[in-house]
Amino acid sequence: MSPADRMPGRFQCFHFFQRVERVWFGSKSKQMTYAIETHQLSYCRGQQLIVDNLNLQVPVGSIFGFLGPNGSGKTTTIRLLLGLIRTANPCVQIFGEDIRENRLSILAKIGALIEAPMLYPHLSGYENLEISRLARQVDRKQVENVLDLVGLTREAKKRVEHYSLGMRQRLGIALALLGNPDLLILDEPTNGLDPAGIREIRRLLVELSQVHRKTVFISSHLLSEMEKFVTHVGILNHGQMLFQGPVNRLHRDFSAQSTEQTLEDIFLTLTNSKL
């Protein structure tokens, strides 16, 4: 039975219990515990199953490392979370709201960087940010603030076609930060950055999470770097979640008794054993 056939019955059952929960306990019951929550999220491209019954739970205020080998479905999952890909039953909730019913209010709370930054090379860095500022209808001062945060104030007036890879990446992060979003979805945000830049972004993300209670959902292949600051991880392979939860639980569950394994070791063990 395909996921599409399995889903409707379970989806209806889940929604019945969700309505009972809301009526009995009130509408605020665990809605704000998770910034991102999916229920049996599945997606097929033709005959290929890309995402398979994904039940993602990203706690509010966490730095969630979304890990997986190439082709595991990470970017597709991110696109599903943002509503960029249509499915029959998306089952995605962002801060307790359904993405289908409250698209604009949800997107106003999200800052996203998907794969490479999508920039207009014929415009300057400042103008690229200005486009986002107009869309988010925020104050002009925020553009200067985010430029300062990512260290691009001096290069703001240069056209993006003259930017280096690292500068483009910084501008992509600035675009995600504009509008003071509650949720940051970052796909390989440190791609192209030098070690100082990587450290700076790490420091910024930790501050956003710990001081400003932002939720950071980050996908990256730099496992050694991720291990330094993520609080939760989700490991995806072939569209299925192999593990999801706090980092210390990952180590507790998968490290050998006498030796402490790194995130990379555990990741490779999990993903290789499921091939």
Residue ranges binding other proteins (CB under 8 A):
45, 76, 79, 82-86, 104-105, 107-108, 110, 112, 114, 116, 118-123, 127, 130-132, 134-137, 175
Q: What amino acid occupies position 202?
A: R
**What's the closest the beta carbon of residue 152 comes to other proteins, in angstroms?**
18
**What's the closest the beta carbon of residue 129 comes to other proteins, in angstroms?**
11
Looking only at the bridges linking them, the beta strands covering 215-219 and 34-38 are unpaired
**What's the closest the beta carbon of residue 187 comes to other proteins, in angstroms?**
11
Instruction: Give CA–CA dist 65/160, Å, rounded.
Output: 29
| Choice between 45 and 157, CB closer to other proteins | 45
Contact 61, 213 (CB under 8 A): yes
Instruction: Give CA–CA dist 236/125, Å, rounded.
Output: 34
Instruction: Give CA–CA dist 137/116, Å, rounded.
Output: 24
**What's the closest the beta carbon of residue 31 comes to other proteins, in angstroms?**
20
| Choice between 21 and 52, CB closer to other proteins | 52
| Choice between 35 and 119, CB closer to other proteins | 119
Instruction: Give CA–CA dist 211/190, Å, rounded.
Output: 21
Nearest alpha carbon to residue 263 among 118, 78, 68 = 68
- Rounded to the nearest 10 degrees, how much is the dihedral formed by the CA atoms of 12, 102, 144, 152? 30
**What's the closest the beta carbon of residue 184 comes to other proteins, in angstroms?**
12
Contact 210, 188 (CB under 8 A): no
| Choice between 112 and 177, CB closer to other proteins | 112
Pull the structure tokens for residue 44.
Answer: 């097929």
**What's the closest the beta carbon of residue 231 comes to other proteins, in angstroms?**
24
| Choice between 76 and 190, CB closer to other proteins | 76
- Rounded to the nearest 10 degrees, how much is the dihedral formed by the CA atoms of 121, 126, 132, 138? 180
| Choice between 158 and 251, CB closer to other proteins | 158
